[in-house]
Amino acid sequence: LPIVVHVHGGGFVRFSAATSSYHDFCKKVATDATALVVSLNHRLAPASCLPAAYQDLVSALHWLRAQALLSTSDGDASYADFSSLIFMGGSSGGNIVHNALLMVLESSKSKRALLPPLSFAAQILLQPFFGGAHRTASELRLSDGPILTLAMSDQLWSLALPDGASRDHPFCDPLAAAQPLPCNLPPALVIVGGRDLLHDRQVAYADFLRESGVEVKLVEYPDATHGFVTPDGTVSYVFMPEVLQFI
């Protein structure tokens, strides 16, 4: 079975793998996709600022590698396809997936070989949470969104970023480095909402992936606000066929 590594959202500062909406979502993915789902509990800001959450995801990869090396014909591990790793994150979870993958892939000489025998098949980013010092058109137009406002976004970044870092930090703005991403990033599904204030940043990120040589599928739901991809969202689960097809 493919392994889906799920990273919850919450702006880096709240929720956990045990939060009911995320737990239910992971159960649905496991059932509908016939997959093994590993749901990450990561440290939260401001007690543990970034890159703590990224490091926790990398640590989870080391744990998965240990399971792969120790797997036998008995137990759940025997059903796991460690060569088909799919990472999925919503909002801040999508940001964590992006940055943790960079940490691993930039140190890897083998295409898509994260930590042998692990191999990366795909990444699914659901309304990934990115920012920047400059304001985009969607941030200005949709600054008072029903779930995420621009003021809330700024506050979350002030709590999550390392001391002294601005929103131009690459953790926040992946385009700030002005250099291509590693071409060995796996194919990406990026899901965005047309009424999400982060819309323009998410589309720019998808374009950046594509320009870096990464295969990208961008899917937009025009009337969706930020957070619609969660089980409590107003457009609940409408995106699931896209996710299942990608897995």
Q: Just list the catalytic residues.
A: 91, 196, 226
The two three-digit tokens of residue 122, written as one number = 């795909």
DSSP state of 173: -
Chain-centroid distance of CA 13 in Å reads 15
**Between the CA of residue 1 and those of 52, 82, 239, what are the distances in Å?**
29, 9, 22
Task: DSSP letter for 174, please.
Answer: T
Cα 108 to Cα 63: distance, rounded to the nearest angstrom: 17
Distance between CA atoms of residues 235 and 238, nearest Å: 6
Contact 114, 85 (CB under 8 A): yes
Taking Cα atoms as reference points, which of 203, 32, 74, 179 lies closest to residue 127?
203
168 by Cβ neighbours in 10 Å (0-12 / 13-18 / 19+) ranks as middle
CA distance 121 to 85: 5
- Buried b or exposed e, range 75-94, using 16+ CB within 10 angstroms: eebeebebbbbbbbbbbbbb
For residue 146, count other CB atoms closer than 10 A to its CB.
11
